Structure 1
Amino acid sequence: MTKQLLLFAFTIISVFNLNAQELEKSLLWEISGNGLTESSYVYGTIHMTCDATLDEDVLKALDDTKLLVLEIDMDDPSMQMSMMKGIYMKEGKTIKDLVTEEEYLTISKFVKEQMGMPLDAMGNIKPFFITAMFYPKLLGCPVQSFEEELMKIAHEQEEEVLGLETVEEQLNVFDEIPYEDQATDLLRSAKDNLATDKASFQKLMELYDNEDIEGMILMMDEDKNLSTTKHKDKMLDNRNKNWISKISDHANKQPTFFGVGAAHLAGDNGIIKLLREAGYTVKASN
C-alpha cells in the first residue's frame, strides 16, 4: 500500500502540473543520436488507471531494450521501510498546526467519511499523502499501474529494474513544499468532497488516453493556486534536470526503457526538450 501511496501522491502532479511546449500526440518517444549506437525510449505513464494494458509499440520498445528504469526502483526490498520513514512531517508537526480549528473539523469529517478513520490517527502524516489516500476513489474501478505492468515485462525478460532517484529523494520533495500549502490542498478536497479533483482527473484521463500531451499541458492554467503548481520547480523541473545525466549514462551503456510520469515529458524543462538540448534526437515513436 505504501508503494502505491507514493504513486498516488505523484498523480497529483500529473493532474495539475504541466508546462507548455508543442509536441506531437505520443506517450512513447525514441532517444537516439549523440553517440548512441542503439535507441532508448522514454514512456509517459499515469500512476493509476483502470486499464494499464501496454500498447504494441510499447511492448516492442521493451523488447528492443535491455534495462527498465522507472522514477524509483520499485523492486528495491527496502522501499517499503524507506517510505514509512518519509511520509511523516518533521519537527513533530501535525495537521492541527497547519489549519484553524474549524478547518481541522472539516478535514476530520471528510477523512472519517472517506476512510472510516479518525484524522487524529494520521495527523502527523504529510498532507499530500493524506490527500493521496483518496485518489483511488477518483477512478471508480480497481486501480491498475503502468509501472507494475512495465516491471512484469522486465521480469519476464529477466532484465534489471532501476530508478532515476531514490525513495528518499522523492519524499524530500514533500518536505521542500510548505506543509501549510499541502494542507490548503487537502482542505479544498475536503470542502467539496473531491468534486474538483474528480473533474480534473476525468479530463486528464481523457487526454491521456488520446496521448494528447498538448491538451494535458493546458490544464495547468485552470488552477494556479494549487500548491503543486506554485512549486512546480520542486515537483518537476529540478527533478527533470537531475535526471538527464542519469538517462544519458544508462542509454550510453545499453538500450534502456525509461518509464516516468507523463507530466515529466513536456515543457521548457521537460525531459524531451532537455534531452534535445543535450544533443539527442528525441522523436515520437508511434
Structure 2
Amino acid sequence: MRKLQFLLAGVLLSFTSINAQDLENSTLWKIEGNGLDKASYLFGTIHITCDATLENDVMKALDETTQVVLEIDMDDPEMQTKMMKGIYMKEGKTLNDLVNEEDFAAIDSLFINNVGMSVKLMQNVKPFFLSSMLYPKFIDCPMQSFETELMKIATEQNEEVLGLETIEDQIEVFEIIPYEEQIKDLVRTAKDNLAYDKANFAKLLEIYKNENITAMQDFMNDDNYSSVADYQDILLDNRNKNWIPKIKEFAEDQATFFGVGAGHLAGENGVIQLLRDAGYTVTAVRAEED
C-alpha cells in the first residue's frame, strides 16, 4: 500500500508541459537574490526510475539547506486516507460507462496480466489513477523514486518535509479533466499491451539522464497522450504559477531544497522562468561547476 501511495501521489509528474524554451542541461538549479539571505535549490525529479541515486551536487545542496519541500507533503500521515477518498469517480460513474465491451475486455486483460487483479474490482477508480498503477511495468527493473530518497535524507538530517500543494489539490485536477478524456490513453495502452509506453518511457529516462529538461517538454508533447497534451494549463501551468508565492515564502523563511517533477522546470510557464520573472536569479548548478 505504501508503494501505491507514492505511485498515485506522483501520477501528475509523469507528464510535462509543451512550451519549449532552451535552458542549460541541468536538473539542479540555485535560487538567489530578490532579498534572500541564503540560497535555496530547485531539483527536477523523475518519479519512476531504475536508479534514484542522488549525485554529489544534489547532496551538497541538501547539506546547504535546512528543509525539504516537495510537490506535496509525502510524509503526511493522513495522506493515504485523503488520497483514497479522492481516487474514485463521482456520480457513480464506472469504467463500463466509459468504454465498450471490447475495450473493457482489453483493459481487464491488461490488469490481470500486469497488476495481478481484474479491473472489475476497481471499476469506479478514475482512469488516470488506474493508469498510474501500470507505471512500474514501464521499466524492466525494480522501481525507485527520487522523492523517496529525498525523504530519507531529510529524515537523516532531522529536517521537515513539506509540500507546495495538498493531495486534494492534485486530485482535483482529475475532476477537471473529463473521465472520457482520461480513458483514451488507458485504452491505447491496453490495445498494444504497454508496448508504446515502454518504448516511450525508455527514451524519457535517457533524456532525464542527460538532464535535458527542454527536450523533456518537446518529447512529451505526444498525441498518444492526448488527454495530457490538451490540458497542459491545468496539469502544469496553473500549478507552477500557484507555487511561486509558496516558494517565495519557504525560501525567505530558510534555505530550502525544492524537489518537483523535472517537467515543471522549463518553458515560459515553467518554474525557472516564473521565478526569474518574480525577480530571482536562477542558475544551473552544473553549468556553474563546469
- TM-score tier by shorter-chain length is over 0.9
1:135-158 deviation digits (Å, cap 9, x = unpaired) = 101111111110111111111111
1:204-246 deviation digits (Å, cap 9, x = unpaired) = 0001001111221221344275211111111101100000000
What is the aligned partner in structure 2 of residue 280 from structure 1? 280
What is the aligned partner in structure 1 of residue 232 from structure 2? 232
Q: 1:18·1:266 contact (CA, 8 Å) conserved in 2? A: no
What is the aligned partner in structure 2 of residue 9 from structure 1? 11
Tell me the distance in 2 between the aligned counterparts of 1:280 and 1:96: 50
What is the aligned partner in structure 1 of residue 212 from structure 2? 212
1:186 offset after TM fit, Å? 0.5
Give the aligned residue type for 2:218. Answer: L
1:177-201 deviation digits (Å, cap 9, x = unpaired) = 1101111110000011111111110
Tell me the distance in 1 between the aligned counterparts of 2:5 and 2:221: 30
After TM superposition, list the pairs within 5 Å mapping 1:167-246 onto structure 2: 167-223=167-223, 226-246=226-246
- What do you get for the CA RMSD once the two structures are aligned? 1.3
Q: Structure 1 residue 150 and structure 2 residue 150: aligned?
A: yes
What is the aligned partner in structure 1 of residue 21 from structure 2? 21
Tell me the distance in 1 between the aligned counterparts of 2:160 and 2:90: 34
Q: 1:25·1:211 contact (CA, 8 Å) conserved in 2? A: yes
Q: Structure 1 residue 119 and structure 2 residue 119: aligned?
A: yes
Instruction: After superposing the two structures, state which structure 1 stretch, 221-230 or 23-32, moved more.
Output: 221-230
1:18 offset after TM fit, Å? 4.1
Tell me the distance in 2 between the aligned counterparts of 1:7 and 1:21: 27
Q: SS state of the match for residue 120, structure 2?
A: helix
After TM superposition, list the pairs within 5 Å mapping 1:94-133 onto structure 2: 94-133=94-133
Tell me the distance in 2 between the aligned counterparts of 1:80 and 1:267: 32
Give the aligned residue type for 1:6. Answer: L
Q: 2:92·2:124 contact (CA, 8 Å) conserved in 1? A: yes
Gaps of 5+ in 2: none
Tell me the distance in 1 between the aligned counterparts of 2:118 and 2:41: 45
What count of residue pairs does the alignment treat as equivalent?
284
1:77-96 deviation digits (Å, cap 9, x = unpaired) = 00111111111111111111
Q: 1:68·1:259 contact (CA, 8 Å) conserved in 2? A: yes
After TM superposition, which residue ranges in structure 1, 4 or more long, deviate above 3 angstroms? none
Gaps of 5+ in 1: none
C-alpha change, 1:249 and 1:11, in structure 2 (3 Å) is closer
Tell me the distance in 1 between the aligned counterparts of 2:196 and 2:179: 21
Q: SS state of the match for residue 239, structure 1?
A: helix
Give the aligned residue type for 2:64. Answer: D
Give the aligned residue type for 1:10. Answer: L
Tell me the distance in 2 between the aligned counterparts of 1:250 and 1:211: 25
Q: Structure 1 residue 55 and structure 2 residue 72: aligned?
A: no
Q: SS state of the match for residue 226, structure 1?
A: helix
Tell me the distance in 2 between the aligned counterparts of 1:53 and 1:128: 28
Tell me the distance in 1 between the aligned counterparts of 2:219 and 2:44: 17
Tell me the distance in 2 between the aligned counterparts of 1:224 and 1:134: 16
Instruction: After superposing the two structures, state which structure 1 stretch, 54-63 or 215-224, moved more.
Output: 215-224
What is the aligned partner in structure 1 of residue 253 from structure 2? 253
Q: Structure 1 residue 92 and structure 2 residue 114: aligned?
A: no
Q: SS state of the match for residue 185, structure 1?
A: helix
